[in-house]
Chain A
């Protein structure tokens, strides 16, 4: 059995789950057996109806709010039914609780994989390392746990009506959640945006980001920020791109007043096209740019907005 951890928002499966399913079916070609899903959370009825269409067998585990311990236990309960491989969408949370799962199973853990396939009873994968600068090819014997990097795999299609089986969650020592702090969400989500317009400390102020919002909206994109900007309190942490922020891989990444520190590059260096505006011709970001303008962002950005508007008319 190949077990897929299906991530969802309480109502619907997330896109990453369909990508993880597609990877599971690829492994099944070589490893055989059924593809099972496991849904973990609270009030799973609705999303279970959607999820069962993608799998032979769906396990549901009513586990309450997320903690790494509960999610790990739930996955282990399902994996105990005979999983050779556990596949999940890659996220901060999955990369934490699957560390527990992999240890408990004595399994090889392949994190944030770009591609994966099975051959001769072993699972192979490619993944980035060294702050996204190096591609590694790795392999692990069964059982294996692997997470799927978002937007690397065409999503799976529904295939029928899988059986549904509820599994109990055994008691587990965990953390007590005291208070949730929701992130304000507006516009296109950063991780999925096809265009990202990021401002760095060179923007000079929080107000200057109004123009970035305008350009992002014109291009149907999302706003990003560097750590310097987040530390200054100009933008929320949820917009930070980089090693300790989000990883993005849009078609077009526009960096305005961004120096191009390695920890920032780690979050965006796989973008298809990178555009930089910086007043310093020696700024490292230019070495990583396809197009750029050496100039003052306060003059260039309004001109860019005008030029895009003109193009759209």
Chain B
């Protein structure tokens, strides 16, 4: 059996973002393995621990993405494939670039994050599934293998459902699927020696990124002292009524 986690590297959400020449400049930001993709790595590891086989991490993006792949290897993944591409690529183009690699690997199943913390895209799972000609289960919160099939629970826009799906299939992650483990020191040492195969991406972009702007809405920041809770509450309600005119 082979369990693949498709990952990307993104800025830590706590990082300050700045814009240079109409583009977000990540030079000062801390870059991490996308936390939604961490769920994918953890699930691949758990499936391997339970059913045997191999857990492979596939990363897409520029050279620096190797750090995120190493993080996944330090968590316990067996080996990595890095599909190298500089610059913006939309999810359809990413799926096209990953499809030949995934087909060659012939995985039992593929996992990836439910939403990307940089492009805020939720489409990679669906696009990958189409590329591979297999079903997709999005926003998965539980996953069990049963022979040639998997039973999974996943979120819908309203409520949730249990499904059975023939494998291979693509699953996108959701919180609740698992609690990702931290890389251990021996894990980090071992990760240094694990193989990362580099593949040059064949990308034909479908979407061009023209401009990025940061519009953190300027907030009023009127913070009241609540030592006298009744007075503070009355003042707040007055402000909301008279100044903001929202109640």
Contact = CB atoms under 8 A, between A and B. Distances in A.
Contacts of B207: 108-110, 138-140
Contact of B233 (A98, A252, A293): A293
B184 interface: no
B55 interface: no
B233 A306 contact: yes
Range for the number of chain B residues in contact with chain A: 35 or more
Interface stretch (B75-83, B160-168, B189-197): B160-168
B24 A134 contact: yes
B91 interface: yes
A177 B233 CA distance: 49
Contacts of A219: 247
B211 A136 contact: yes
Nearest to A242: B175
A174 B241 CA distance: 52
Interface in A175-213: 175-183, 185, 195
Contacts of B24: 129-130, 134
Interface of A: 66-69, 72, 91-93, 95-104, 106-112, 124, 127-141, 173-183, 185, 195, 219, 227, 237-238, 243-244, 251-252, 262-263, 266, 269-270, 272-275, 277, 281, 286-296, 299-300, 303-304, 306-308, 310-311
Nearest to B155: A92
B92 A288 contact: no
Interface of B: 11, 13-14, 17, 19, 24, 35-36, 90-92, 95-96, 114-115, 117-127, 129-131, 133-139, 151, 153, 155-166, 169, 172, 174-176, 206-217, 219-227, 229-230, 232-234, 236-237, 239-241, 244, 246-247
A162 B217 CA distance: 43
Contacts of B120: 111-112, 127-132
Contact of A311 (B115, B135, B211, B241): B241
Contact of B164 (A175, A182, A243, A290): A175
Nearest to B234: A307
Contact of B163 (A178, A251, A292): A178
B75 to A, nearest CB: 20
B114 A244 contact: yes
Contacts of B136: 68-69, 96, 99-100
A81 to B, nearest CB: 20
Nearest to B169: A175
Contacts of A182: 158-159
Nearest to B115: A243
